[in-house]
């Protein structure tokens, strides 16, 4: 097993390496890959030092699996080259998510759809992953008519430049800006670029990816995505209208039985999901479960996950693990 991590020097790339170590992912050879300007850098992994190589060299090495976290433009250019060389690419960018010829995979939901000839596999958007995972068994039981989601997303979702901006602002220093406005002590209802319909690209990702993952274009989804001055972890307020009525205790049981989901819902003792408690954890945490008393068959829920983990690195590694376990590589 020859494994490549493309974008190994970035925030998500570093997290992928941590998850690979924690999960004891089986490989015989590891290639750490980045842009040509990062080639030659040294990265320590499992008590061994690796030298970062460029993309062209990595393609020539013909890895069995390449986990990409290097941005959409890089994925568009290089993922097909890896695939042509016989590599299975698991891609973290938005480049392939809505391509009808590519699978969009959350392993607990739809990994069974993967086939031996799937050469490029898309990892969904971080906010989408945690929401659909929390909804999957509820959808199976009650059917979903409509979802209204508002997100509260960490600066780590924008990369290292955004983390540095927040830290600089808190320290009262000038520095490079990732956002058009101050982020510390502020809230920005603006993630990714605005589209012609007034929604941001991030909001449209949540809408379109949810429909694709569930293979159900009839689900109505609307989203407002918001950046908040939190260092790690995305939170979501989700209002879901089911096709059938539900029992709240059964909802909790279904969530607790969902692989990768942890229920934290004890408001009498101030227990509910918070991003600081989700840090460095692979699970999706769900709480504040209550009926929407303004209309029938509707549930309010609060969903939190580490966006660099299940929202990116963990999900990608789990896809790779599925490929290995089921002899698809």
The answer to whether 12 is a known ligand-binding residue is: yes
Query: CB under 8 Å to 270, separation ≥6 — which residues?
Result: none
The answer to whether 227 is a known ligand-binding residue is: yes
Query: CB under 8 Å to 93, separation ≥6 — which residues?
Result: 68, 69, 70, 71, 72, 74, 75
Q: Which tokens is 30 given?
A: 């590891």
Q: Which tokens is 239 given?
A: 């209002």
Handedness of CA 265, 266, 271, 277 (dihedral sign): negative
The percent helix, strand, coil of the chain (3-state, each to 5) is: 35, 25, 40
Catalytic annotation, pick one of 23, 181, 190, 234: 234
The answer to whether 10 is a known ligand-binding residue is: yes
The answer to whether 38 is a known ligand-binding residue is: yes
Query: CB under 8 Å to 275, separation ≥6 — which residues?
Result: 154, 230, 232, 233, 234, 235, 304, 306
Q: Which tokens is 155 given?
A: 């600066």
CA–CA distance, 244 with 270 (Å, rounded to integer): 30
Q: Is 173 helix (H, G, I), strand (E, B) or coil?
A: coil
The answer to whether 300 is a known ligand-binding residue is: no
In terms of Cβ atoms closer than 10 Å to its own Cβ (0-12, 13-18, 19+), residue 208 is middle
CA distances from 87 to 2, 10, 113 (A): 10, 22, 19
The answer to whether 128 is a known ligand-binding residue is: no
> Is 126 a known active-site residue?
yes
> Is 181 a known active-site residue?
no
Q: Mutual orientation of helices 314-325 and 11-22 as an angle, nearest 10°?
A: 50
Catalytic annotation, pick one of 126, 181, 279, 326: 126
The answer to whether 97 is a known ligand-binding residue is: yes
C-alpha closest to that of 68 among 1, 128, 16, 126 = 16
Q: Specify binding-site residues for NADP(+).
A: 9-12, 37-38, 307
Annotated binding site for phosphate: 97
Residue numbering of the annotated binding site for substrate: 153, 227
Q: What is the set of active-site residues?
A: 126, 234
**Which residues belong to the annotated binding site?**
9-12, 37-38, 97, 153, 227, 307
């Amino acid at each position: 097993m020859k494994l490549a991590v493309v974008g190994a020097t970035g925030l998500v790339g570093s997290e992928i390496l941590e998850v690979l170590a924690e999960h004891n992912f089986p490989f015989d050879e590891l290639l750490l890959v980045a842009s040509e300007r990062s080639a030659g850098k040294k990265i320590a992994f499992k008590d061994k030092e690796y030298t970062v190589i460029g993309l062209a060299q990595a393609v020539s090495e013909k890895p069995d699996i390449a986990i990409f976290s290097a941005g959409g433009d890089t994925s568009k250019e290089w993922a097909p080259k890896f695939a042509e060389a016989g590599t299975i690419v698991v891609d973290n960018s938005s480049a392939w998510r809505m391509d009808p010829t590519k699978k969009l995979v959350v392993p607990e939901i739809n990994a069974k759809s993967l086939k031996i000839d799937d050469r490029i596999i898309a990892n969904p958007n971080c906010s989408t992953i945690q929401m659909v995972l929390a909804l999957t068994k509820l959808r199976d039981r009650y059917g979903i008519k409509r979802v209204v989601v508002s997100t509260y997303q960490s600066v780590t979702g924008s990369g290292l430049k955004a983390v540095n901006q927040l830290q600089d602002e808190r320290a009262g220093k000038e520095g490079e800006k990732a956002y058009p406005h101050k982020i510390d002590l502020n809230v920005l209802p603006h993630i990714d670029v605005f589209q012609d319909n007034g929604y941001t690209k991030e909001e449209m990702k949540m809408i379109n990816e949810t429909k694709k993952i569930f293979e159900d274009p009839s689900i109505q989804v609307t989203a407002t995505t918001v950046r908040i001055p939190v260092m790690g972890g995305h939170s979501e307020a989700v209002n879901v209208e089911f096709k059938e009525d539900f029992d709240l205790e059964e909802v909790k049981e279904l969530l607790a039985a969902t692989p990768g989901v942890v229920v934290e819902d004890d408001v009498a003792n101030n227990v509910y999901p918070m991003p600081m408690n989700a840090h460095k954890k692979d699970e999706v945490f769900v709480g504040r479960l209550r009926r929407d008393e303004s209309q029938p068959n509707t549930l309010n829920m609060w969903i939190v996950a580490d966006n660099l983990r299940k929202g990116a690195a963990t999900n990608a590694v789990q896809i790779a693990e599925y490929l290995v376990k089921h002899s698809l590589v």
